[in-house]
Amino acid sequence: MSFRKVSRDKRRFLLTRILLKIASIVLVLTLLVTVLGCSEQTEVLRVATTTSLYDTGLWDYLEGIFEDRYNDDLQITAKGTGMALQLGMNGDVDVVTVHDPVQEAAFIDGGYALNATVDGNSTARVTWAYNYFIIVGPESDPAGVGNLTGSLAPEEAFQKIQQEGALDPDNVKSVSRGDNSGTHGKEKAIWASGGYNYTEDIQGDGAAAGWYIEAGTGMGATLEMADELMAYALTDKGTFLAYQGDLDLVPLVEEGDIMLNVYTVIICKNGVNSGMAQNLVTFLRADDIQTLIAGFGVPEYGETLFYHWDPEICGLP
């Protein structure tokens, strides 16, 4: 073998070794960047929320603040309370924000909730905001409920709507959420408190007579349907304020002991991100966020759509 041949082969060998070293360094750097990138990766938190919280724009308002604070991707699904809790049971979401004490208690008693920590307390159900339900309807008020006041005004209003609807279903109508939501649950509670068997007297006889209509949809869409039919409807006040500019309906009954509407947050046992769910609980009860909630809607509507948590009104924790 000639000297020239040996030199050429040696140069090729050295060049190959250099290229292999460079490739190894590039691979190591790539893996390092990947590992570092994974450690900085945004977490995902899946939330099922009531349509009233979503339709009012409150979650749009809070979402970016939470994501910036916790480096999180908040994925929000708006459903009625019943469906939201079902998603929680199935493990399709990590946390729910709802407003139906009866359904919430069943969810917790069924073993589907994890305790959250707030203000040093450990509990499955954390209250964080409230507003009130109201009864809205056409300004002409064909059932004559607008002059009712006092602690039993909602029950008396429902009684008059049922009686006048049975007599004149063409002119007196009531539109219900009809979707097993928190609002629907409150409506059923008012019917029961007013002395009615909801299933037989309202869903049965009322629907058959034509004065009672179930929308089977969210609060905003239910208000729009009631507006089209010039019908009565039960709504949380926040959603009504957000929609009232596009409606001809007016508030008719705003008093009554039964009309309190408390929102809670519950961590789902079958979820996959309980740590970030706890962060959401902490976030919703943080002083600065509570201040933001209390001010939400004031510039646009002249009053807040939601009130911040008050232990004397919402209960503990």
pLDDT in tens, 269-306: 999 999 999 999 999 999 999 999 999 999 999 999 99
The CATH number of residue 285's host domain is 3.40.190.10
In a domain, 142, yes or no: yes
Please check the confidence at residue 9 and state whether its pLDDT lies above 80.
no
Domain around 26: 1-32
Which residue, 47, 49, 60, is CA-closest to 273? 47
Question: What pLDDT band is residue 317 in, cutting at 50, 70 and 90?
Answer: confident
Longest dimension (CA), the chain: 116
Summarised one tens digit per residue, pLDDT across range 72-85 is 999 999 999 999 99
Is the confidence at residue 21, as pLDDT, over 80? no
Pairing of β 95-98 and β 113-114: unpaired
Taking the C-alpha atoms of residue 175 and residue 33, their distance in angstroms, rounded to an integer, is 57
Structure tokens that stand for 234 in this block? 């039960």
Do 214 and 243 belong to one domain?
yes
Tell whether 99 and 241 lie within a shared domain. Answer: no
Query: How many residues in the chain?
Result: 317
Tens of pLDDT, residues 193-230: 999 999 999 999 999 999 999 999 999 999 999 999 99
Question: Structure tokens of 191?
Answer: 């019917």
Mean pLDDT of 237-264: 97
Q: What is the pTM of this model?
A: 0.85
Do 76 and 154 reside in the same domain of the chain?
no
Specify the pLDDT at position 30.
52
Query: In terms of domains, do 269 and 125 share one?
Result: yes
Kindly list the distances between the CA atom of residue 76 and the CA atoms of 53, 73, 95, 242, in Å, as whole numbers in the listed order: 11, 10, 10, 19
Q: Is residue 56 part of a domain?
A: yes
Q: Kindly report, residue by residue over 34-72, the tens digit of the pLDDT.
A: 444 444 578 999 999 999 999 999 999 999 999 999 999
Phi, psi for 251 (deg, rounded to 5): -70, 135
- In the three-class reduction of DSSP (H, G, I as helix; E, B as strand; rest coil), residue 76 is classed as strand
37 occurs within a structural domain:
no
User: What's the pLDDT band for 2 if we cut at 50, 70, 90?
Assistant: very low
Q: How far apart are the first and last CA of the chain?
A: 89
Return the percentage of the chain with pLDDT > 70, whole number: 87
Give the mean pLDDT of the chain. 91
